[in-house]
Structure 1
């Protein structure tokens, strides 16, 4: 069985080992939905605020097994790792809601 693939794009920032590890760990949370997903696209963008504080904007799109794009949305935080966690939290909630809606009623 092949797992869900992930493509990561960095905008205005560079990949770090910690950020790559966080994204890989979060991807593991989606593995129970692997039958309905083939891939995900993660974009991590560093925004420069006037205050000088960093802000990271993360966008996550899921690609279904039927090759349809399912945008999860944008999530922002002061750390890239936290923004990634928020995006995958939303993805997991979305997938669980969809799975429960498709479950047979008794």
Structure 2
């Protein structure tokens, strides 16, 4: 079972490099496919056109039971790094969820 991903860009048109980074990070979550069916990634340019850009990245997971699980809100001047941090948080949260299930 694969995990689908929807990417939304707010305040800018997006970039192929950001989609590639998000796709590479999604591969890390593939092992959690029994728990997660979809994820929604939002990348917002908070200072579009500025010499010092700032991006806010939010990642929400949707479980197989159709429950929305917000995971991370990350911000920074490097959108790709913020995407990686959001997926880091998702992986940590999913590993914790598996650990809690295994303990019961």
Query: What TM-score do the two structures reach when normalised by structure 1?
Result: 0.90
Aligned-pair CA distance for 1:104: 4.3
Matches within 5 A, 1:1-106: 2-48=1-47, 52-104=51-103
Residue correspondences, number: 103
1:24-72, Cα deviation, whole Å (9 max, x unpaired): 00000100000011000000001118x8411110011000000000001
Counterpart Cα distance in 2 of 1:29 and 1:64:
16
Structure 1, gaps ≥5 residues long: none
Whole-angstrom CA distance in 2 between matches of 1:104 and 1:43: 33
